[in-house]
């Protein structure tokens, strides 16, 4: 039986309160935070929203952020919530150095990007905010404000992001990587996604009414919440009293549509069923369901059908709290998890504000806050675009845990190093795609910026499908389908993507429209495709794969985070197969902006584009290219920790480094490699494949092909750094600005 995942600290900021006490008071008083816009500068004042009742400047002052220092509203709300959680859990800096930090967000620093986008392009007045745009920068701003976490990751699966952050953190603990995981999400309201949701025609002009027959859409909200997850052994050793228990969780893909839920709620039904199975519970054990309940006609009907399938005639009390907070999108999973904990602790039912009219064939939500029986186990749902559906089971802590024979719990705890094989790996990049011609005849570049060499996509898409997809989506799907076909995998157990920027071309289209033409007549397609998890969803929809689905958007470590997720779940025996992708595009505009930040534009460096798909399997196969035998990520490791990692890895025949092409003796990457693995030949791949946020995926791909073909292109040798005498065991090393270290060891078969 797995060790229980305890919750030892919570922090919450939303429209109904700046901490847990204010939040509880609003819930008990049935007081909504949804009202007229106050802080967002937009033309659309006809839409009520759930804004946090502080200006950005007021938040910065509270957190001690000096005037003139770049700050975003999403990061500031996250800092406020995280500060509360750390304080309640009594975490010191030494504890955080042993803890993982996993946050979910989709808009990142968009609130400042949409203000300064034209300045980014035309002058240098606000260049500091360019590097604050992406989701990973937001997460690192929150984390770095408090101390050196052991690892830092960013999930971006739209409205299920924070719930998936909780799942990832719990898997990290169950796998024994860390004893503490601080998890949650943060999201502010921006013109970008207000107009995006408006283009989908799913915003209500009145306060939203989830599960009501007259419901007309959602109210956007904003906020942040973080929870401290901890092993029982760690909590006991630190002497902290748990607030609750994360008993179980599930994630599934609806695999139906990029924005709409299926009529029967297949994905949400699977997620809830998996969460109950993981917790060792039956539907009859659930005492309350905090529904996703957005107030849109589609979601509430679909979720109702899924709950009816699961619970039948014995429906527990159900309500949506989005009529209190507004739909806080990426932060909703953790905000509503905290609300569930408050309901458990205070033994009350959050009512479904605004409900008056029964939906035909729909559920009847809670209007009476008094439970008919004690609340012991509650289910919390979070569903995102692309059918990314997640469910959590929360409970109050007990003095004694039942014996394994008394409680049947899915075995999700790593006991040994499970072998992981790379059964296929494909790429479309600045080298010729979907083949290994680059090994013998690589294309050499001296240009600072090159677009991908696209293949003929006709064999994968009809003309009508092709017209609806941006190029990055075509590349991602083509590499994914080819890798699946070569590995003989029809439906992967998991589809996990890393992308630093997502479909940035679509983001630019909508930003340009907002900045140059205003907020009228925004088109839905750029908004839908700008959402980071569009890529993973599209693969699952195209292949009808209902398994685990996740997207990581953590700058240059995005692919690394995705690979780590797959590795952890394989070590826990949750999944057998996983399709792990790394996809990013580089538009001319964004290339120019990243040159301003100093990320690109260096002599000898080429910026490229990446679409790489890697199939992993825990079963050996004749088709396998190589074996992945070791994987670890560290955020800001000490020299002692790096030495420990090197000792765990042992001798390797070469180190594949992610140097940017600007190779010189004092490069931090080369220093690290030479120090940890002295007298070991050092290799490179970005001189062939270019620099991009998910280039590390190309490094893993290239290393797998080198080991499989037992052939090393001369261009991959770093002058003066030796040449391997054998191609048997290669470490693929990543490091970004002396942090975000990744170590992956591949072995020849």
Catalytic residue numbers?
159, 292, 327
Residues 449 and 591: their CA atoms lie apart, in Å, by 8
68 contact partners, CB below 8 Å, separation of at least 6: none
Other beta carbons less than 10 A from residue 604's beta carbon: 12
Residues 84 and 122: their CA atoms lie apart, in Å, by 40
Token digits for 38?
Answer: 């106050």
Residue pair 502/532 in contact by the 8 Å Cβ criterion: yes
**Between the CA of residue 245 and those of 398, 399, 401, 479, what are the distances in Å?**
9, 12, 11, 40
Residue pair 532/388 in contact by the 8 Å Cβ criterion: no
Q: Pairing between strand 494-498 and 420-428?
A: unpaired
Task: Work out the end-to-end distance of the chain between its first and last CA atoms, rounded to an integer number of angstroms.
Answer: 34
Residues 58 and 36: their CA atoms lie apart, in Å, by 19
Residues 598 and 611: their CA atoms lie apart, in Å, by 23
Q: Supply the DSSP symbol for 207.
A: -
610 beta partners: 584
Provide the CA 452 distance to its chain's centre, in angstroms: 25
Residues 278 and 282: their CA atoms lie apart, in Å, by 10
Residue pair 139/105 in contact by the 8 Å Cβ criterion: yes
Residues 667 and 682: their CA atoms lie apart, in Å, by 12
Q: Pairing between strand 729-736 and 739-747?
A: antiparallel
Q: Supply the DSSP symbol for 402.
A: P
428 beta partners: 611
Q: Pairing between strand 729-736 and 654-657?
A: parallel
Token digits for 23?
Answer: 């939040």
484 contact partners, CB below 8 Å, separation of at least 6: 424, 490, 492, 543, 579, 615
Rounded to 10 deg, the angle between the 135-144 and 73-89 helix axes is 40
Token digits for 715?
Answer: 């261009």
Residues 301 and 529: their CA atoms lie apart, in Å, by 25
């Amino acid at each position: 039986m797995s060790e229980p995942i305890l919750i030892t600290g919570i922090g919450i900021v939303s429209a109904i309160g700046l901490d847990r006490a204010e939040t509880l008071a609003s819930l008990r008083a049935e007081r909504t935070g949804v009202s007229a816009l106050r802080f967002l500068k937009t033309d659309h004042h006809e839409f009520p929203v759930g804004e946090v009742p502080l200006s950005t400047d007021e938040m910065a002052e509270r957190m001690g952020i000096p005037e003139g220092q770049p700050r975003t509203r999403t990061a500031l709300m996250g800092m406020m919530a995280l500060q509360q959680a750390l304080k309640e859990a009594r975490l010191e800096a030494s504890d955080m150095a042993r803890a993982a930090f996993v946050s979910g967000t989709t808009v990142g620093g968009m609130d400042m990007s949409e203000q300064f986008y034209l300045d980014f392009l035309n002058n240098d007045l606000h260049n500091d905010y360019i590097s604050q745009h992406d989701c990973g920068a937001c997460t690192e701003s929150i984390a770095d404000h408090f101390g050196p976490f052991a690892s830092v990751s960013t999930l971006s699966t739209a409205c299920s992001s924070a719930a998936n952050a909780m799942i990832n953190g719990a898997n990290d603990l169950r796998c024994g990587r860390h004893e503490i995981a601080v998890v949650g999400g943060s999201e502010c309201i921006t013109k970008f996604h207000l107009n995006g949701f408006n283009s989908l025609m799913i915003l209500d002009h009145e306060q939203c009414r989830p599960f009501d027959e007259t419901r007309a859409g959602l109210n956007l909200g904003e906020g942040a919440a973080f929870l401290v997850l901890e092993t029982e052994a760690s909590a006991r050793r630190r002497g902290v009293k748990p607030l609750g228990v994360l008993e179980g969780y599930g994630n599934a893909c609806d695999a139906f549509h990029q924005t709409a839920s299926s009529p029967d709620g297949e994905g949400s039904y699977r997620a809830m069923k998996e969460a109950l199975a993981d917790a060792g519970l039956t539907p009859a054990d659930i005492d309350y369901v905090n529904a996703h309940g957005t107030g849109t006609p589609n979601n509430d009907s679909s979720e109702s059908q899924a709950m009816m399938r699961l619970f039948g005639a014995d429906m527990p009390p159900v309500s949506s709290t989005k009529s209190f907070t507004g739909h806080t999108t990426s932060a909703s999973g953790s905000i509503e998890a905290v609300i569930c904990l408050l309901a458990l602790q205070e033994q009350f039912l959050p009512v479904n504000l605004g409900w008056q009219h029964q939906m035909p064939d729909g559920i009847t939500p809670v209007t009476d806050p008094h439970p008919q029986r004690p609340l012991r186990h509650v289910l919390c749902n979070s569903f995102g675009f692309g059918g990314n559906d997640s469910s959590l089971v929360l409970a109050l802590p007990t003095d004694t845990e039942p014996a394994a024979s008394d409680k049947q719990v899915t075995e999700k705890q790593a006991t040994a190093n499970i072998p992981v094989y790379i059964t296929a790996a494909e790429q479309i990049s600045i080298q010729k795609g979907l083949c290994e011609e680059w090994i013998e005849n690589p294309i050499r570049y001296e240009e600072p910026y090159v677009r991908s060499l696209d293949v003929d996509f006709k064999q994968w898409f009809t003309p009508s499908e092709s017209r609806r997809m941006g190029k990055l989506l075509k590349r991602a799907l083509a590499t994914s389908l080819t890798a699946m076909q070569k590995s003989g995998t029809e439906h992967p157990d998991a589809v996990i993507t890393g992308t630093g920027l997502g479909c940035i071309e679509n983001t630019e289209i909508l930003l340009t429209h907002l900045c140059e033409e205003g907020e009228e007549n925004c088109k839905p397609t750029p908004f839908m495709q700008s959402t980071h998890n569009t890529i993973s969803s599209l693969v699952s929809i195209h292949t009808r794969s209902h398994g685990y689905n996740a997207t990581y958007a953590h700058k240059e470590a995005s692919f690394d985070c995705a690979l780590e997720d797959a590795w952890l779940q394989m070590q826990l025996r949750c999944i057998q197969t996983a399709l792990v992708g790394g996809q990013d595009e580089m538009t001319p505009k964004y290339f120019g902006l990243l040159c301003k930040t100093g990320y690109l534009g260096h002599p000898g460096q080429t910026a490229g584009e990446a679409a790489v798909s890697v199939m992993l399997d825990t079963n050996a196969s004749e088709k396998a290219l190589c074996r992945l035998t070791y994987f670890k990520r560290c955020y800001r490791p000490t020299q002692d920790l790096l030495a420990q990692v090197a000792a765990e890895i042992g001798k390797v025949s070469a180190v594949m480094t992610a140097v940017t092409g600007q190779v010189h003796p004092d490069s931090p990457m080369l220093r690290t490699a030479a120090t940890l693995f002295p007298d070991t030949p050092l290799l490179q791949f970005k001189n062939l494949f270019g620099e991009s946020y998910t280039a590390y995926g190309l490094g893993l791909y290239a290393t797998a092909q080198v080991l499989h073909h037992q052939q090393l292109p001369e261009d991959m040798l770093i002058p003066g750094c030796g040449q391997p005498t054998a191609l048997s065991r290669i470490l693929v090393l990543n490091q970004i600005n002396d942090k975000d270290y990744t170590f992956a060891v591949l072995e020849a078969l």
